[in-house]
């Protein structure tokens, strides 16, 4: 019972997700299909890449992760399947695997060219159903990766923004805004620990200053601004019982400065 996960921007109002599951189960009735999320903002490849990276490792080895956030569907963009470490991925080649590949110690990829593993009729607008779902299902039945097409050695990679670390400050940015309005930055807990630790730092964003890194959301008063490390290990700017993105009026790409108390 191979696990196949689905991450899309389809939402649940229409039948797109159900159709993909139907295709998978028609090819492999024993597959275990898990919904990662279908609420990626429409066409938001960067959000999909970040969220996939935060979740895929929590599945059993050999899990097949299918990602369909595909604004280029029907164009000349390639489809791919690959193995990264212990996991398989099936997706459009548009950068949606950028975060996964940035951390990869080993990977092997192919371009999806063998139409024998697609549905007989391929829509120009729904490759999730007609290409990616059947490929994942055949992969789950043990079809070798090399059967799906020729090697692909140059997958599209988006920029994975890294913080700029200076002697007295770290220049960072917001890379994701979650459902609660938490502003997730590109500073990891180990990065700050190596630089200074969590004590004696001041965090500045949108003209506001936060004078410490808290352990929990409850460390601030209701509707108070705080910073903490979230479950992904990234530094977050949050508002207790509120929405930091709305309160500060910022989103992805917002600049964040981390300095030492008493230093600029």
- Using the structure block, give the residue that is written with the tokens 């997730």: 184
The answer to whether residues 51 and 10 belong to one domain is yes
The answer to whether residues 244 and 117 belong to one domain is no
The answer to whether residues 118 and 205 belong to one domain is no
Q: Three-state DSSP class for 201?
A: strand
Residue 157 lies in a domain: no
- Residues 6 or more apart in contact with residue 157 via CB below 8 angstroms: 95, 98, 101, 102
The answer to whether residues 89 and 11 belong to one domain is yes
pLDDT along the chain (264 residues), means of 10: 95 97 98 97 96 96 97 95 97 97 90 98 96 98 97 94 91 96 95 75 95 92 95 95 97 94 60
Q: Round to whole Å and give the CA distance between 237 and 226.
A: 6
pLDDT at 261: 75
Is residue 184 within 8 A of residue 178, CB to CB? The reply is yes
Quote helix, strand, coil % in the chain, to nearest 5: 25, 30, 45
Residue 156 lies in a domain: no
Q: Round to whole Å and give the CA distance between 67 and 6.
A: 6
The answer to whether residues 46 and 141 belong to one domain is yes
Confirm whether pTM is higher than 0.95.
Answer: no
Using only C-alpha atoms, the chain has a radius of gyration, in whole angstroms, of 21
Lay out the sheet containing 79-84: strands in order across: 32-37, 3-8, 64-68, 87-92, 79-84, 107-111
Is residue 45 within 8 A of residue 53, CB to CB? The reply is no
DSSP H helices, the chain, are: 16-27, 45-55, 98-102, 127, 133-140, 189-195, 244-248
Residue 155 lies in a domain: no
Choose the final residue of a domain: 148, 177, 198. Answer: 148
The answer to whether residues 193 and 83 belong to one domain is no
The answer to whether residues 197 and 86 belong to one domain is no
The CATH number for 247's domain is 2.40.30.90
Q: Dihedral of the CA atoms 156, 158, 159, 160 (nearest 10)?
A: -110
pLDDT at 154: 95
Beta bridge partners of 177: 183
The answer to whether residues 65 and 112 belong to one domain is yes
Q: Round to whole Å and give the CA distance between 227 and 229.
A: 7
Residue 201 lies in a domain: yes
Could you give phi then psi for residue 216, rounded to 5 degrees?
-140, 165
Residue 158 lies in a domain: no
- Using the structure block, give the residue that is written with the tokens 């549905």: 119
The answer to whether residues 96 and 136 belong to one domain is yes
pLDDT at 264: 47
pLDDT at 236: 97
pLDDT at 168: 87
Choose the final residue of a domain: 89, 113, 148. Answer: 148
The answer to whether residues 108 and 64 belong to one domain is yes
Residue 154 lies in a domain: no
Beta bridge partners of 214: 228
- What range does the domain containing 172 cover? 164-260
Choose the final residue of a domain: 114, 148, 182. Answer: 148
How many structural domains is the chain composed of? 2
The answer to whether residues 189 and 237 belong to one domain is yes
The CATH number for 72's domain is 3.40.50.10790
Residue 46 lies in a domain: yes
Long-range contacts at 153-156 (CB < 8 A, ≥ 24 apart): 153/109, 155/80, 155/82, 155/93, 155/97, 155/101, 155/109, 156/93, 156/94, 156/95, 156/98
The answer to whether residues 87 and 193 belong to one domain is no
pLDDT at 197: 61
From its phi and psi, is residue 83 left (phi > 0), alpha (psi between -120 and 50) or beta?
Answer: beta
């Amino acid at each position: 019972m191979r696990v196949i996960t689905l991450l899309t921007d389809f939402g649940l109002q229409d039948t797109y997700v159900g159709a993909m599951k139907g295709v998978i189960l028609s090819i492999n009735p024993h597959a275990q299909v898990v919904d990662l999320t279908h609420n990626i903002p429409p066409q938001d490849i960067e959000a999909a890449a970040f969220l996939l990276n935060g979740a895929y490792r929590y599945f059993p080895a050999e899990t097949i992760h299918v990602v369909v956030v595909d604004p280029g569907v029907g164009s000349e963009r390639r489809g791919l399947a690959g193995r990264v470490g212990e996991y398989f991925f099936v997706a459009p080649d548009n950068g949606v695997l950028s975060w996964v590949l940035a951390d990869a110690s080993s990977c092997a990829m192919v371009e999806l060219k063998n139409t024998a593993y697609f549905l007989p009729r391929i829509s120009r607008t729904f490759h999730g159903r007609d290409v990616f779902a059947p490929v994942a299902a055949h992969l789950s039945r043990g079809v070798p990766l090399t059967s799906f097409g020729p090697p692909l050695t140059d997958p599209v990679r988006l920029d994975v923004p890294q913080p700029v670390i200076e002697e007295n400050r770290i220049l960072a940015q917001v890379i994701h805004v979650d459902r609660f309005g938490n502003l997730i930055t590109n500073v990891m807990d180990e990065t700050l620990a190596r630089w200074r630790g969590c004590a004696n730092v001041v965090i500045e964003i949108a003209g506001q200053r936060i004078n410490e890194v808290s352990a929990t959301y409850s460390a601030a008063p209701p509707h108070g601004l705080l910073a903490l490390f979230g479950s992904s290990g990234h530094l977050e700017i949050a508002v207790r019982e509120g929405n930091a993105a709305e309160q500060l009026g910022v989103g992805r790409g917002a600049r964040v400065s981390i300095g030492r108390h008493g230093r600029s």
